A and B are shown apart, each in its own frame.
Chain A
Amino acid sequence: MRYLMLGAAVALMAAPLSANPTTCGHGTKLDFVDSPKEAAALAKKEQKLVLVLHVSGHFEDPGLT
């Protein structure tokens, strides 16, 4: 029982990460996946559109976007 509860707690803590394990915001409010290819595959699966940013500069620069 103790192990079961421990397992459930671990699963709950890990849930938000495992739902979308590869996204990163790079200091923004957007969730970025690693590559446009990955974005396309995920978009097709989730029936969404794809947003691709082409950048020359630092994301952290306040004037960039």
Chain B
Amino acid sequence: MGALNNAEVGKYCNEYFVSSYQKVATFKIVGAQKQGGNVAAYFCAPDGRVLHCVAGPVDAQTFLREAKWVVETTKTCMKESVGKDGKMDGAKFKEQFRKAHAEKLRQEFGIVVEAVTYDPPEAMDEKDALTYRDPTGRPLAPKLPPPPINGPDVTLTEAKFEAMQKNAAAAPGNRVAVDGKGRRVVVTNQSLVHQIMAAHSMVPIERVYGSVFENILGEKISTKPVDVVKPFTWVDKNGNRLRPEK
């Protein structure tokens, strides 16, 4: 096990977080090869609303850095969200946290998005027109729209932005996206997380996980057990016909 087997990660996470896990997708075993298999780590408030996420496998240093960012940002946003009556303002906390994601995206990836601090109406009940369902009638995990990329950070020099883009091109999950002016920018799993979180942090995990697991990691959500695929049971892995057992 990579990051989660690191002693420092374990110590920090056990001190600040209560951890749990869920199986949300399947993977296939084709012959002796495993296809698929992925992980997303959600840092949440105790009520299940997502503060941040690490999409895909990362090294211990990256995981620890993101975990510490969540804890420190939570503390800062809590301080800044205290109203005149001395009580914490939840709406202000959400606004601060989304802005913090947009700022981290700008600082680490040189990409600018506008934090969305207004949430659209949610479905009221199962028969509401806003409740989408799959053919079996099961409500679907919504695909939350990320805020559009405004473009590169204009305070950066061209060389600095190009260096950031080069780093992004070497990171896991790198792909090309288009900003508001049609310019191509390289995004990564983690920059996409910040982009989504700039509009959807402090949203319940059941509304966010579909976007992370399917849109960012490219996995199909499923609770099926492992699929074992061996289409030709009468031949071995080298293609030689097996003799029937006597």
Contacts and interface: CB of A to CB of B under 8 A. Distances in A.
A54 B13 contact: no
A43 B46 contact: yes
Contacts of B63: 65
Interface in A20-65: 26-36, 38-40, 42-44, 46, 48-65
A53 B48 contact: no
A33 to B, nearest CB: 5
B interface secondary structure, majority: mixed
Contacts of A46: 18
Interface stretch (B32-40, B79-87, B147-155, B188-196): B32-40
Interface residues of A, number: 36
Contact of A30 (B14, B37, B40): B14
A56 B20 contact: no
A58 B21 CA distance: 12
A34 B63 CA distance: 22
B20 A53 contact: yes
Interface string B202-229: 0001000100110000010010000000
B24 interface: yes
Given A42-B18, A54-B22, A54-B209, A65 B46 contact: no
A51 B44 contact: yes
A2 B112 CA distance: 71
A32 B19 contact: yes
Contacts of A55: 21-24, 38-39
Interface string B103-119: 00000000000000000
Contacts of B45: 49-50
Given A28-B1, A28-B4, A64-B39, A52 B51 contact: no
B2 to A, nearest CB: 5
Contact of B20 (A29, A33, A59): A33
A44 to B, nearest CB: 4
A46 B16 CA distance: 9
A53 B183 CA distance: 35
B57 interface: yes
B46 A40 contact: yes
12 contacts: A26-B21, A29-B4, A35-B20, A35-B22, A42-B18, A48-B17, A50-B20, A51-B41, A54-B39, A56-B36, A56-B219, A62-B2
